């Protein structure tokens, strides 16, 4: 998997400059999961975010109960794990590889290293995360309005 | 150790002296890798040959036991065969006795039949004369009971003969059964003996193979010692080259990183990896790049350095806050 290619193509890193993407490529690690592998579980401490390079993952609530619910299926270039980065809470859902999956792993500490050097670049990453969270909130609001 | 700025450390890494040292380290690592491979190869051959020797020895012993088992089975079968031969001799003797008895019974039977036939002829002649000769009638009266007695005797003799003949045939079948069984066992004895001989020869061959493998393993053991010696020399050479780095570049040289104190910092240290690794550290490290680590945490957390962004022309944040929205539907928040 080409880390640069994935970083350049992901919404999470939109509007970053080439030097910033270079540094992020150094700070990211490639992780591979076989179909069925657990990436992380609900309730764990969140200390990294992930960008899918290839394959698909399921986001699952109540994973360890008798009635787990798949709340989303994410595909290549989607990202997840960003909520714990912002709110410092524990993981709100479990993530399980639906297929063999390759993803980019960026730890909070490494993102901090990035932030220390490229403040504007880090701000852009935060804005990108906020954009996605905002979009999700709007979608949720719209669904709620339809039901009321 | 002398504390350095980033650009000073870059100069050290780009110097001819450092390049020479780096080439020496790479040559030492190449030698170590070659020695390691040679050592592992010869060690593998040694282990494999030792295993083959053990395996051949075990198989040889197994074969030897099997040969012994076949020899024991042959001896047991031979004893069975001898016993059957003895039984068959006894049965033949019993048959011969029975044959004579049966022959006697046959003679008795024939004699009794003959006596009956003679008396019947005599009675028939007397019956022809009985009307004219009173003496013949008297004789007939006397001979009639005698005929019945002789007929009974003949019937008894016939039954006796038939009984003896049945016994004679039974004994003959028993003799034949014993001969057949004895023959079968005799044949299997020779077969088992030949098999025992063959397996014993295979066992001897395997013992020879085991010995050859042991000799080869001994030669390889010496080769392992030599390879181990070469490997130790290569490791010593790497340690020597690393020690020389400490002296030549005034740094701390560990097995995989060189460390240089950062000027004007009590907390941070520059580290220079002597290898590339994309998987086992918090970031992807590249050989001879400069990174920074905390003195306490060491390479548990490595940070890139030497990036100095020029934000003067960067308008992205301003653009985000100051540019107009693309579209704003009514009621949007």
Q: Do residues B154 and B91 both lie within one domain?
A: yes
User: Please, are residues B5 and B270 in contact by the beta-carbon 8 Å criterion?
Assistant: no
Question: What's the gap in Å between the CA of B232 and the closest CA on chain A?
Answer: 35
Q: How many domains does chain A have?
A: 1
Residue A15 sits at the chain B interface (C-beta within 8 Å): yes
Q: Do residues B65 and B204 both lie within one domain?
A: yes
Residue A123 sits at the chain B interface (C-beta within 8 Å): yes
Q: Do residues B138 and B183 both lie within one domain?
A: yes
Q: Do residues B165 and B291 both lie within one domain?
A: no
pLDDT, mean of residues B165-183: 94
CATH value at residue A56: 2.60.120.10
The domain of A64 spans: 3-147
Give chain A positions within 8 Å (CB) of B291: none
Question: What's the gap in Å between the CA of B239 and the closest CA on chain A?
Answer: 30
Rounded CA-CA distance B8/B95 in Å is 121
pLDDT tens digit at each of 148 positions of chain A: 889 999 999 999 999 999 999 999 999 999 999 999 999 999 888 889 999 999 999 999 988 888 889 999 999 999 999 887 777 788 889 999 999 999 999 998 899 999 989 999 999 999 999 998 899 899 889 988 888 8
Residue A29 sits at the chain B interface (C-beta within 8 Å): yes
Q: How many domains does chain B have?
A: 2
Q: Do residues B72 and B110 both lie within one domain?
A: yes
Q: Do residues B142 and B27 both lie within one domain?
A: no
Q: Is B283's CB within 8 Å of A110's CB?
A: yes
Q: Do residues B311 and B259 both lie within one domain?
A: yes
Q: Do residues B123 and B66 both lie within one domain?
A: yes
Question: What's the gap in Å between the CA of B314 and the closest CA on chain A?
Answer: 8
Q: Of the residues B175, B196, B225, which one is the last residue of a structural domain? A: B225
Give chain B positions within 8 Å (CB) of A113: 283, 303-304
Q: Do residues B64 and B131 both lie within one domain?
A: yes
Domain contains B143: yes
Residue A134 sits at the chain B interface (C-beta within 8 Å): no
Q: Of the residues B204, B225, B246, which one is the last residue of a structural domain? A: B225
Burial of B264 (0-12, 13-18, 19+ CB in 10 A): exposed
Q: Do residues B158 and B52 both lie within one domain?
A: yes
Q: Of the residues B178, B197, B225, which one is the last residue of a structural domain? A: B225
Q: Do residues B110 and B200 both lie within one domain?
A: yes
Give chain A positions within 8 Å (CB) of B320: 124, 127
Which of A115, A113, A39, A37 minimizes the C-alpha distance to A79? A39
Domain contains B327: no
The domain of B147 spans: 48-225
Q: Do residues B211 and B247 both lie within one domain?
A: no
Please write the tens of the pLDDT for every residue from B188-231: 999 999 999 999 999 999 999 999 999 999 999 999 999 999 99
Q: Is A25's CB within 8 Å of B279's CB?
A: no
Q: Is B309's CB within 8 Å of A29's CB?
A: no
pLDDT at B24: 96
């Amino acid at each position: 998997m080409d880390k640069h290619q994935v970083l350049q193509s992901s919404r999470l890193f939109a509007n970053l400059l080439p030097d910033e993407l270079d540094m992020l490529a150094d700070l990211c690690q490639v992780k591979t999961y076989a179909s069925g592998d657990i990436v992380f579980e609900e309730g764990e401490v969140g200390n990294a975010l992930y960008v899918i390079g290839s394959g698909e993952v399921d986001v699952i609530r109540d994973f360890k109960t008798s009635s787990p619910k798949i709340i989303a299926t994410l595909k290549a270039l989607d990202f997840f794990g960003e909520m714990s980065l912002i709110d410092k809470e524990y993981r709100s859902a479990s993530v399980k590889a639906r297929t063999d999956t390759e993803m980019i792993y960026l730890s909070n500490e490494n993102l901090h290293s990035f932030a220390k050097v490229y403040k504007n670049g880090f701000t852009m990453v935060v804005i990108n995360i906020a954009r996605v969270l905002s979009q999700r909130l709007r979608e949720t609001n719209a669904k709620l309005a339809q039901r009321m | 150790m002398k504390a350095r700025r980033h650009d000073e450390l870059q100069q050290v890494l780009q110097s001819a002296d450092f390049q020479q040292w780096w080439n020496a380290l790479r040559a030492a690592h190449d030698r170590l890798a070659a020695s390691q491979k040679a050592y592992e190869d010869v060690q593998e051959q040694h282990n494999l040959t030792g295993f083959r020797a053990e395996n051949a020895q075990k198989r040889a012993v197994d074969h030897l036991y099997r040969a012994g088992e076949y020899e024991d089975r042959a001896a047991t079968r031979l004893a069975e065969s001898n016993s059957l031969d003895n039984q068959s001799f006894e049965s033949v003797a019993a048959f011969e006795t029975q044959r004579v008895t049966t022959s006697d019974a046959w003679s008795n039977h024939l004699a009794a039949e003959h006596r009956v036939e003679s008396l019947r002829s005599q009675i028939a002649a007397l019956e022809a004369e009985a009307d004219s000769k009173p003496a013949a009638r008297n004789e007939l009266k006397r001979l009639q009971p005698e005929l019945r007695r002789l007929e009974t005797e003949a019937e008894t003799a016939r039954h006796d003969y038939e009984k003896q003949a049945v016994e004679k045939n039974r004994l003959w079948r028993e003799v034949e059964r014993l001969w057949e069984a004895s023959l079968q066992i005799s044949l299997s004895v020779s077969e088992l003996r030949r098999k025992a001989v063959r397996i014993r020869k295979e066992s001897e061959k395997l013992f020879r193979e085991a010995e050859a493998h042991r000799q080869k393993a001994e030669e390889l053991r010496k080769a392992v010692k030599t390879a181990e010696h070469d490997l130790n020399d290569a490791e010593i050479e790497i340690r020597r080259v690393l020690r020389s780095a400490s002296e030549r570049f005034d740094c701390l040289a560990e097995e995989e990183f060189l460390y240089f104190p950062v000027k004007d910092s009590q907390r941070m240290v520059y580290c220079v990896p002597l290898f590339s690794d994309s998987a086992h550290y918090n970031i992807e490290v590249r050989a001879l790049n400069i990174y920074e680590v905390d003195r306490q945490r060491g390479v548990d957390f490595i940070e890139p350095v030497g990036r100095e962004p020029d934000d003067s022309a960067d308008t992205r944040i301003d653009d985000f806050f100051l540019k107009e929205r693309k579209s704003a539907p009514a009621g949007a928040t």
